[in-house]
Structure 1
Amino acid sequence: MIKSHSGVDTQQVFRSRDGWEFNKNDLAWRLNKNTTVYLGWVDDLTVDIKSSFLTTLQFYSVHSSAAHARNISERAKYFFKFTGGELNTISLLAYRANLDDSKQHYLGGLKGFFVTWYEQGHPGISEEFFKTLKAWVLKGNEVGRAVLQMDSLKGPLTDIEMQGVLDGVIACYSKSRLLLEQFSLILTLVHTGRRSVQIVALKIKDLLLTEKNGISAYSINFPRAKQRHALWRSTFNTCAIDEDLWLILQLQAVDTVKRLQGLVNFSLSNSLIKEVPLFADFVNLSHGISEKNLLELLQFDYLHAPVKICNTALTRFSEIHCVFSERTGAPLSLSPRRFRSTLGTNVARQGYGVSIVAEVLDHSNVRSAGYYIKSLSDIVARIDKAVAQQLAPLAQAFQGVLVASEKEAVRGGDSSSRVSNGRVNVGTCGNYGFCGALAPIACYTCTHFQPWVDGPHEEVLNELLAGSDRVWGVTKDVKTALANDRLILAVTEVVQRCAQAKRATCDG
C-alpha cells in the first residue's frame, strides 16, 4: 500500500513527461522506469510550505525530466534540513554562506525552482526572498575535472587499459561467463560512448542497415538525452558502428524477441517487433496481455530495462575478470562514464576540433566537449623498452601460464599446438578448438598461451618495438603507433618472468 500526505489539494493524479501516472498525495512519485522521487521528508514542513512545494514540484515532474525533478527534491530536502524548515531571506543567506564555491551549484539547482514557485503565486516565498535570489549569479557544477587530470580512477582509460577491457570481455563471453545481454551492453558502451539512459531506451528498430553502391553501412539511431523539454524518444542522433557490433546486437534483438514471444499468446508481428526494447525487462508483464495492450505499453519505457543494468554488467565483468591498470597496478574501476570520456579523449587526440567531439558524444553544446581538447597535453607518449619494463608488472597484460618446457604444457605432446614466431617455437597453445588469431602476436594476451621459459621472447619483443618505431616514422600518428602497446607489455612481462624463473633455477 502506498502511503500518502495529508493536507494537499484534491487534484491528485498527474502524468509525468515520460508517461507515468503519479499521485500527488503519495510519499513516492514514480516518474519513469528509473526514477522515483521520495517525499516522506516534506511532512516535517508547515502545511503552506509543504502544499506549495508539492504543487511546484508536481509542475516540474510533468514538464521537466524525471531526473531534474528528483534532483530538485534532493536539493530542497537538504536546504530545509539546514534551515529547520524556514523559507525566508535570513535562512537563504545563511544557507548560501554555508556553501563553499564547489557547492554553489546546490543552490543554483534550486534557484529556478524557487523562482517558479514565486511566479506561479504559491504562498511561502516573500518578494524580498525572490529579489535576493534572483539577483545572485551562482557558479555551476564543476565538470571535466577527471578528464583534465586524466584521473586514473575516474577519468579516461588509456589505450592499454581499454584493450585489456576488450580482450577480457571477449574472453569472458567466449567462455559463457558473461551473458549475451551483458556482453552487448559493455560493447555498446565501449564503442559508442553513449549514456546508459540512451542505451536502455533503444528499440529493435533503432538498429539500422543501409546499402549504397553495394556497400553496407551499420548504425544505431540513439534517442537523445539531456534535451530540455524533449519527450522520451522524441529526438535522435545516429551513431555509426562496425559490422561486428551490429551483428552482436542483432543476436541480442533475436534473444529479446524470443523471450517476449514465450510470454504472450499471439504471434508477434513484424511491426510490433520493431517497437520491442533491445534491452528489455519483462518481469512485470502479464502473461495474458492482449496485443493491443502490449502495443500501448511499448510506447513508453515500462518494458525497457532499467539504467542500472549497464553498471550491473560492468560489475559482473569486474567480478570475474581483473583488468589491471599500468598506471596504478590495481584492478580498473569501470563505469559507463569512463568509456564516454575515453571516446571523447581519443577523438580529440586524433586532431578533431571541439565541434566534432561534441557531435561524437552527442552533446547539445560544445562547453563540455572543450575539456577533451584541453586534456591533450596530459596524454602519455609512445612506450619504449625502458618504459615497458616499468609498466609491465603493473599492467599484468600477460594472461597465460609460464611453463618450464613443452612437456609440462597442456597439449604439450601435440606438435600442432606449438606456437612459432616464424623462425623458432616460443610456446604451446592449450586451446583444443580452432583459433584464427595471428600467432605469436595475439598469443601473449591469450589465456590459452603457455610460453616456454627458454623461448626467444625477447626477440618477439624487439620485433614489436621496431614495428612500432617504423609505424611512427611513416605515419607520425600516435594512435596508430600505440596500437600494440598492451601486447608489448604482455611480451615484456613474459621476458621478465622467464628471467625470474631462470634465476630461481640457478639459485636453487
Structure 2
Amino acid sequence: MSTHLGFASNQSRRCLPSVAKPRNGSPFDPTATRWTFHDGIATVSLNFGSLEWASPALIESMKMVLVWYAEHASAGQLKSHFYKLRRLVDFIAEQRGGEVHEISGTDLINYRSSLRPSEECLLGAVASCLKKWHALQIPGVTEDALRFLTQVRLKGAQKGKAVLTMDPESGPFSDIEIQAIQDALNGSYAAGSLDLGDYVLAWLFILLGQRPQQFALLKICDVIASQRVDGSLEYIVRVPRIKQHNQTHRDELKERLLTPSFGRVLYEYARTIEQRFEAVLADPKQAPLFPAERKPVDQPFELAYHMTSYSLGRRFTQVVKALKVWSERTGTELHITPTRFRYSLGTRAAKEGHGELIIAELLDHSDTQNVGVYVKATPEIVERIDRAVALRMAPLARAFAGTIISDDSEAIRGDDPISRIIDPRFDDKLKPMGNCGRNGSCGFMAPISCYTCNSFQAWVEGPHEAVLAYLIAERARLMTEADVRIAKINDRTILAVAEVVRRVRKVRKEAADGC
C-alpha cells in the first residue's frame, strides 16, 4: 500500500505543470497551496490547505484533475468540483478516523447512504469529476469506485421546484410583486435617490432576465441605436452568450430589442460611460457598460475594468433590496436574488402562451431540456380578488404609498385648487379623493394611478369605497371579456385603494369612539 501511494505522489509531481492556463483566465501556479486567479470576470480562489484530512499524494492527484477542469471548463465548474470533493473527503476521513489516501467504492456506498434522498444529487454532481479523474489515469480513485459509479443510478438535482411551486422566497415573483418593484425603482430614480447606472442595471435584469455574468461582460459597443425606415430609432443590446461549449467570453453575442423608452435611457447612459473612458482606453467603446471602481489585478486585457459577475450580482441585489418592496404573499420585504428575475421572465413568457422554444430563446438556453418547467407551471389558478380578499391582502402588500389627510388644510398644496384630485365617475358631487403633493403634471391617469404614488394625499372623506368597487367590477368584466393579463393589470392598485379604505375606516371608528 505504501509503495502504491509513493508511486502516486511521484507521478503526480512529475505530471503537475508549473503553470496552468485557464481557458478564459490568467495563468497560475498549480503547485501552490492556494489557487487564486481571474477567469475572465470571475475570481477563483481555492484553498487546498483546507483539505486537512487528505494525504499529500491525494491532494496532488486532485490538483491534476482540477487543472484539467481549469483549462477546459468554466470557473463555476472548477469551484463546484473542488468543494464537492472536499465534502466527500471530509466524510471519508470521519468514517475512517484518519487521513484519506484514496477514494474507494466502499467510501462512495457509505457516502450515498449518509445522504437524504434530496441530497443524493451531491454524489451525482461529484461522480462526473471522479470518472474524469479515473479517465485521466491519475491515481486516487480505485477501480471498484469506478464500477460503482458506472452501475449505480444517481438522482440529479431537482429542477424547477421553486418555479413549479411559485415559492414566495426563491421562486418567480408574482405580477403584483414585479409591478411593485418597477414602481419603487421608477419612484426612487425620479426622486434622485438612485444612480442612473443602478437604474439601468436593475431594468436590464427585469426586462431580459439574463445571468449576472452576461451583464458583467457587456461593453459600450453592445448598446446600439439604429435608424428605421420611418426615421425612428431602434435600440438593441447585444448580450454575450455563456455556457457554450468550446467558446471563450464574448465569442457569441445575441441581439435583444429594447423598448424605445428604456433603450433611449440605456443608450444615453452608455455614452456617458464612453466619455469617462476616452482618456483611459485606446478605444472607449470597449469599456465595460458597468465598470468596476478600480481595475482588478491580473484581469485579461480585453476585459479591463469589468466587474466580476459576483460583484455585479451583489450590486444589483443591494439596489433592489434598498427599495424595501413588500410582498402581498408573505407580508414581509421581498427576498431578492438575480435568479428570481430570471424565473419571472420565463414564467411570464409561459403565461403569455409562448412555447418551450421561445422561452429557451429568451433565457439563452441552447436547448429546451430545462425550460419545460415554465410551461408545466401554467396555466396558473386565476386569483379571485373581491372586496374582502383585497382588504385582507392590502396590509401585506403595502401598495398605498401616500398619506391620509382630513382635508385641504393638511395638504402640502392645500391652497392650490389644481392639486385636488376629482373624478365624477366616483362622486357626482365632485368630492375630491385627495390632493397631489407634486408640482407639475406627472402624465399618469388620475385618480387610478394616484393610489400607488407617494405624492398622493388621500382625504378621509374621499369616495375611496366607490373607486374600489369600480376597480373590482372592471376586473371581473375583463376576466370574462378580455385577456386575463389585461384584467390583472390594476391588481396592485386595487390593493392600494383597499388599504386606503381600511385605514379610513379605522380613522372614522377612532373618531366615533372619541379617541
Query: Do both proteins adopt the same fold according to a TM-score greater than 0.5, normalized to the shorter chain?
Result: yes
Q: Take 2:313 and 2:422, find their aligned partners in 1: how far apart are those partners?
A: 40
Q: Are the counterparts in 2 of residues 381 and 478 from structure 1 also a CA contact under 8 Å?
A: no
In the alignment, structure 1 residue 283 sits paired with structure 2 residue 300 = no
- In the other structure, the counterpart of 2:320 is 317
Residue 161 (1) aligns with residue 185 (2): no
CA displacement at 1:323 relative to structure 2: 1.6
Aligned residues: 488
Residue 76 (structure 1) shift = 0.4
Q: Deviation of residue 50 (structure 1)?
A: 1.6
**Aligned-pair CA distance for 1:426:** 1.3
Looking at structure 2, the residues matched to 171 and 352 of structure 1 have their Cα atoms a distance apart, in angstroms, of 31
Seq. identity, %:
33
Q: Segments of 4+ in structure 1 off by > 6 A?
A: none
User: Does the aligned pair in 2 maintain the 1:223–1:236 contact within 8 Å?
Assistant: yes
CA separation in 1, counterparts of 2:314 and 2:440?
A: 32
Structure 1 position 216, deviation (Å): 3.8
Q: Which amino acid in the other structure matches residue 308 of structure 1? A: S
Q: Secondary structure, in 3 states, of the residue corresponding to 2:433? A: strand
Identify which of 196, 199, 211 aligns with 2:212: 196
Of 465, 471, 481 in structure 1, the residue corresponding to residue 472 of structure 2 is 465
Counterpart residue identity of residue 60, structure 1: Y
- Partner of 1:447, secondary structure, is coil
The correspondence of residues 127-146 of structure 1 with structure 2, limited to 5 A, is 127-146=143-162
Q: Secondary structure at the match of 1:157?
A: coil
Residue 68 (structure 2) aligns with = 59
Measure, in 2, the Cα distance between the counterparts of 1:335 and 1:371: 19
- Please say which of residues 38-47 and 188-197 is displaced more in the overlay: 38-47
Tell me, yes or no, if the aligned pair for 1:282 and 1:303 is still in contact at 8 Å: no
Q: CA deviation at 1:49?
A: 1.6
**What secondary structure is seen at the aligned counterpart in 1 of 2:302?**
coil
Q: Name the CA distance, whole Å, in 2 between partners of 1:363 and 1:73.
A: 26
For 2:412, which of 410, 423, 432 is the aligned residue?
Answer: 410
Letter in structure 1 aligned against 2:294: V
What letter matches 1:29 in structure 2?
T
2:35 is equivalent to residue 28 of structure 1: yes
Secondary structure, counterpart of 2:404 in structure 1:
coil
Q: 1:451-462 counterparts in 2 under 5 A?
A: 451-462=458-469
- 1 CA distance for matches of 2:142 and 2:251? 38
Q: Within 1, Cα distance between the matches of 2:489 and 2:116?
A: 44
Match of residue 38, structure 1, among 42, 46, 50: 46
Residues 206, 456 of structure 1: alpha-carbon distance in 2 compared, 3 angstrom cutoff = same
* Alignment partners' CA distance in 1, 2:357 and 2:167: 24
Q: For the Cα contact (< 8 Å) 1:37–1:73, is it kept in 2?
A: no
Code of the aligned partner of 2:416: D
Output one character per residue of 1:427-458: Cα deviation in whole Å (capped at 9) or x when no partner: 11112344222211211101111011111112
1:68 and 1:379, CA in 2 relative to 1: closer, same or farther beyond 3 A? farther
1:98-154 deviations in whole A, cap 9, x for unaligned? 222222221222222222222222122232222222222221111211111111111
Contact 1:348 1:373 in 2 (8 A): yes
C-alpha separation between the residues in 1 aligned to 2:258 and 2:129?
40
1:7-406 equivalence runs, <5 A = 8=13, 11-26=17-32, 27-32=34-39, 33-39=41-47, 40-42=49-51, 44-84=53-93, 85=100, 86-214=102-230, 216-261=233-278, 264=280, 272-284=283-295, 297-300=300-303, 303-319=306-322, 321-406=323-408
Structure 2: which 5+ runs fail to align?
1-9, 94-99, 425-429
Match of 2:494 among 488, 492, 500: 488
Moved more, 374-383 or 18-27: 374-383
Compute the TM-score of the two structures, normalised by the length of structure 2. Answer: 0.89
Contact 2:278 2:284 in 1 (8 A): no
CA distance in 2, matches of 1:276, 1:381: 46
| 1:354-399, Cα deviation, whole Å (9 max, x unpaired) | 2222222112222221111111254442523332122112111000
Q: Given that residues 75 and 110 in structure 1 are in contact (C-alpha distance below 8 angstroms), is that contact kept between their aligned partners in structure 2?
A: yes
Partner of 2:4: none
C-alpha separation in 1, matches of 2:417 and 2:302: 59
2:212 and 2:309 in contact (8 A); partners too: no
Matched letter for residue 318 of structure 1: K
Aligned to 1:325, what secondary structure does the other structure show? coil
> 1:127–1:31: structure 2 CA closer, same or farther, 3 Å change rule?
farther
Residue 121 to residue 301, structure 1, CA distance change in 2 (3 Å) = farther
| Distance in 1, Cα, partners of 2:304 & 2:377 | 37
Conservation of the 8 A alpha-carbon contact between 1:31 and 1:61: no
Tell me, in whole angstroms, the C-alpha distance in 2 between the residues paired with 1:339 and 1:346. Answer: 10
Q: Secondary structure at the match of 1:29?
A: strand
Distance 1:136 1:60 in 2: 24
Separation in structure 2 between the aligned mates of residue 173 and residue 145 of structure 1, nearest angstrom: 34
User: Aligned equivalents of 2:381 and 2:290: distance in 1?
Assistant: 35
Aligned amino acid, residue 87 of structure 2: Y
Displacement after TM superposition at 1:194 (Å): 0.9
SS in 2 for 1:28: strand
Q: Which amino acid aligns with 2:258?
A: I
Q: Give the counterpart letter for 1:83 in structure 2.
A: I
Task: Normalising by structure 1, report the TM-score.
Answer: 0.90
CA distance in 2, matches of 1:405, 1:314: 40
How far did 1:80 drift? Answer: 0.6
State how far apart, in whole Å, the 1-side matches of 2:268 and 2:13 are.
50
Please list every run of 5 or more consecutive structure 1 residues that lacks an aligned counterpart in the other structure.
Answer: 1-5, 287-292
2:400–2:500 Cα contact (<8 Å) kept: yes
Cα RMSD after superposing both structures: 2.4
Distance 1:210 1:382 in 2: 44
The letter of the residue matching 1:219 is I
Q: Which secondary structure state, in structure 1, belongs to the residue aligned with residue 137 of structure 2?
A: coil
C-alpha separation between the residues in 2 aligned to 1:16 and 1:297?
Answer: 11
Which amino acid is 2:238 matched to? N
Give secondary structure in 2 for the equivalent of 1:432: coil
Deviations 1:215-265 (Å, cap 9, x if unpaired)?
A: 543332211222233321222322222122212222332332243346x3x
- Give CA-to-partner distance per residue, 1:334-373, whole Å, 9 cap, x none: 1111111111111111122222222221122222211111
Q: Specify the code of the residue in structure 2 equivalent to 1:181.
A: G
Partner of 1:3: none
Once the two structures are TM-superposed, the CA of residue 199 in structure 1 deviates from its matched residue by 1.2
